Structures are given as structure tokens and as C-alpha cells.
């Protein structure tokens, strides 16, 4: 505190000089593309023209988007992704973290490493492997008794297969964050509960989970933001198919912008990017507010 006051008091332009490189990076790589995308969403642009702003269409791209039934499919699928990652993924990670923490297994570190391992693999590699396993003659069908079912060609199930793979890959990441939170708990609280005769159910529900509140919130917010931006797992596993029934917002944006035999409409793709940005921005503000409120309460 004292040093920053000293800087402000006697530094003049010095603090701003230190901030300039970071601000420049932010301007070039964040602010400018955001403004650019917002502007592009108001223009009709195929992507083949060097004059990006030849034809102004105002809200025309958004009208095209809202009239496309696959846009609503992608919204639905994205919400499925979000809901599953903030509930199922977090719940599994929390459950496993508590079990490992309480159980004090001999190989707890190894178990944590194994669960976390998929999180360090490239999502493309994970998706390729699961794609092979989910094929009609893949290992999953053989385990299920040699059934002849194409998981990724099913209109109803394709998106859930994608969600499953995503949860499989990232649950370890959430587990590590939860485990860190558990290790920071005051162990005397648990000992005191032991003395009072509380069983493990009570200790988990009344002590551990409430104290892990901020950590749970952190994981929920991280998963929320991450699941809105998911692309690679969906693209490699299904490319948004069959037809467009496993599209999410990001893959639909790719389809509109780059797909051969596609709509060739980067203006509409930019509109989707603006929608994603607006949602993620709101979630970011929400996170800041919740953290501040939580910090004030504590």
C-alpha cells in the first residue's frame, strides 16, 4: 500500500509507463477484435472480399440468425453443455475430491494424477480417441455386448456423447481445484465435529461443503465460461452433425464463416461471436460481483 502511494505521489507518468505494454496487448488482441467483430456483424461479408465493409445490413445478420432453426438448436445444445458442466461435472469432481481427501488412501496422489491426466491432453487427441471408441464397431459397443449402434449419428444422443467426453476430460481439473480448497480447511473444525459425534454425512453437508462455497463458485464460473466457448471437442467428434443437431454456438459460427458448401456469411458468424461475447462478459461481471460480495461478507 505504501509503495503504491509513493508511486502515485511521486511517480507522475511512471505507473502508466508500466501499464502501457499490458494495455497495448489488451488493445491489439482483445479490444480491437471485439469492436471489429461487432462492426462486422452489421455488414454482409462472405469472407472472399478484401473490402469487409462493402454492404451495411444493420440487424440483417441477426435476423438471418434468429430465423435459422439450427441457431436455436445450437443455443439449446450450448445450454445443455453449460448445465451439465456446472452441475454434473462439478458434482462428480467435488464427490471424488471429498472421497480422496477423507479416505486418505495410500495412493491418493497417484489417483489424483490419473483423474487429472485427461485434462493435460490436447482436446483434439481426446476427441479422436473417443470418436474411435464410439464408432459402430468401436470398443464401447463391444463392451455393451456387441450392439450395433452409432452413438455419434443419433440426433438425440450425439450432443450428450460430446458432453460426456467433455466431462470425462475436465472433471480432473475441477477436482484439483476442490482438493486444494479441501486442504486449506481448518482441520480442527472436523475434529470438533468428531467430538460432538457428527457422522461423515453431517460433516460433509454441514461443514465441508459450506466452507468450500467460494471454491465451488469458482469452479462453476470457470465451467460456465469454458462451456460457452467449447469448440474443439464438438468439431472433432461430430462437426456439429448429424446434419446440425449437435451444433453449439462456436461450431455454428465456424459453419457460417468457413464451411465449404456452407452459407459463406462471416457477417452472421460475427453476430454469433457478439452473442457469445455478450454472454461471457455478463458472466464475468457476475463472477466479480459474487467474489466481491463474498469478500465483503467474510
- Least distance from C-beta 48 to another protein, angstroms? 4
Residue 150: phi and psi, rounded to 5, are -100, 100
CA–CA distance, 7 with 13 (Å, rounded to integer)? 9
Q: Could you say whether residue 268 binds another protein (CB under 8 A)? A: no
By CB under 8 A, tell whether 77 contacts another protein: no
If binding is defined by CB under 8 A, does position 260 make contact with another protein?
A: yes
Coarse DSSP helix, strand, coil percentages of the chain, rounded to the nearest 5 percent: 75, 0, 25
Q: Single out the residue of 72, 105, 117, 258 in contact with another protein (rule: CB under 8 A).
A: 258
Report in angstroms how near the CB of residue 87 gets to another protein at its nearest.
27
Q: Is 53 in the site for another protein (CB under 8 A)?
A: no
Q: Is 12 exposed, middle or buried (0-12, 13-18, 19+ CB in 10 A)?
A: exposed
Cell readout for 216 is 465451488
Query: With respect to another protein, which residue has the nearer C-beta, 212 or 273?
Result: 273
52: contact with another protein by CB under 8 A: yes
CA-only gyration radius of the chain, Å? 24
Q: Does residue 109 bind another protein (CB under 8 A)?
A: no
| 7: its cell numbers | 508511486
**Do the beta carbons of residue 230 and residue 211 sit within 8 Å?**
no
153 binds another protein (CB under 8 A): yes
CB 45, min distance to another protein, A: 8
Q: Which of 135, 157, 214, 231 touches another protein (CB under 8 A)?
A: 135
Restricted to residues 32-51, the positions that interact with another protein (CB under 8 A) are 46-50
Nearer to another protein, 147 or 288 (CB): 147
Element (H, E) at 56: strand 55-56
- Sign of the C-alpha dihedral computed for residues 273, 275, 280 and 284 taken in this order: positive
Instruction: Map grid coordinates 465456424 to a residue.
Output: 254
| Shortest spacing between CB 130 and another protein, in angstroms | 13
60 lies in the site for another protein, by CB under 8 A: no
Q: 117 near 172, Cβ under 8 Å? A: yes
- B/e letters for 93-111, b = 16+ CB within 10 Å, e = fewer, are bbebbbebbeeeeeeeeeb
Which residue(s) pair with 43 in the sheet? 56
Q: Mask: binding to another protein, 154-193, rule CB under 8 A, as x and -?
A: xx--x-----------------------------------
Establish if 136 lies at the interface with another protein (CB under 8 A): yes
Name which of 20 and 46 has its Cβ closer to another protein: 46
Shortest Cβ distance from residue 153 to another protein (Å)? 4
d(CA 212, CA 95): 12
Q: Is 257 in the site for another protein (CB under 8 A)?
A: yes
Return the residue of 189, 243, 286, 288 that touches another protein, per CB under 8 A: 243
In the complex, the residues that contact another protein under the rule CB under 8 A are: 46-50, 52, 70, 135-136, 149-150, 152-155, 158, 238-239, 241-245, 257-264, 266
Amino acid at each position: 500500500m505504501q509503495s503504491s502511494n509513493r508511486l502515485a505521489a511521486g511517480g507522475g507518468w511512471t505507473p502508466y509507463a508500466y501499464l502501457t505494454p499490458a494495455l497495448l496487448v489488451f488493445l491489439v488482441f482483445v479490444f480491437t477484435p471485439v469492436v471489429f467483430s461487432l462492426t462486422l456483424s452489421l455488414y454482409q461479408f462472405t469472407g472472399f472480399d478484401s473490402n469487409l465493409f462493402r454492404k451495411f445490413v444493420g440487424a440483417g445478420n441477426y435476423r438471418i440468425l434468429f430465423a435459422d432453426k439450427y441457431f436455436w438448436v445450437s443455443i439449446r445444445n450450448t445450454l445443455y453443455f453449460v448445465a451439465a458442466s456446472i452441475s454434473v461435472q462439478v458434482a462428480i469432481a467435488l464427490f471424488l475430491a471429498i472421497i480422496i481427501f477423507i479416505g486418505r488412501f495410500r495412493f491418493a496422489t497417484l489417483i489424483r494424477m490419473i483423474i487429472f491426466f485427461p485434462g493435460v491432453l490436447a482436446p483434439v487427441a481426446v476427441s479422436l480417441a473417443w470418436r474411435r471408441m464410439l464408432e459402430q464397431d468401436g470398443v464401447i459397443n463391444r463392451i455393451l455386448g456387441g450392439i450395433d449402434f452409432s452413438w455419434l449419428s443419433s440426433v438425440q444422443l450425439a450432443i450428450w456423447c460430446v458432453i460426456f467426453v467433455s466431462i470425462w476430460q475436465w472433471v480432473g481439473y475441477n477436482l484439483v481445484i476442490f482438493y486444494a480448497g479441501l486442504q486449506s480447511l481448518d482441520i480442527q473444525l472436523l475434529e470438533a465435529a468428531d467430538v460432538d459425534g457428527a457422522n461423515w454425512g453431517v460433516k460433509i453437508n454441514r461443514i465441508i461443503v459450506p466452507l468450500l462455497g467460494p471454491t465451488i463458485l469458482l469452479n462453476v464460473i470457470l465451467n460456465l465460461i469454458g462451456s460457452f466457448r467449447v469448440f474443439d471437442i464438438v468439431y472433432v467428434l461430430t462437426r456439429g452433425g448429424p446434419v446440425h443437431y449437435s451444433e453449439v454456438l462456436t461450431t455454428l459460427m465456424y459453419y457460417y464463416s468457413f464451411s465449404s458448401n456452407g452459407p459463406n456469411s462471416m457477417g452472421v458468424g460475427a453476430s454469433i461471436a457478439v452473442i457469445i461475447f455478450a454472454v461471457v462478459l455478463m458472466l464475468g461481471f457476475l463472477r466479480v460481483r459474487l467474489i466481491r460480495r463474498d469478500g465483503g461478507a467474510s
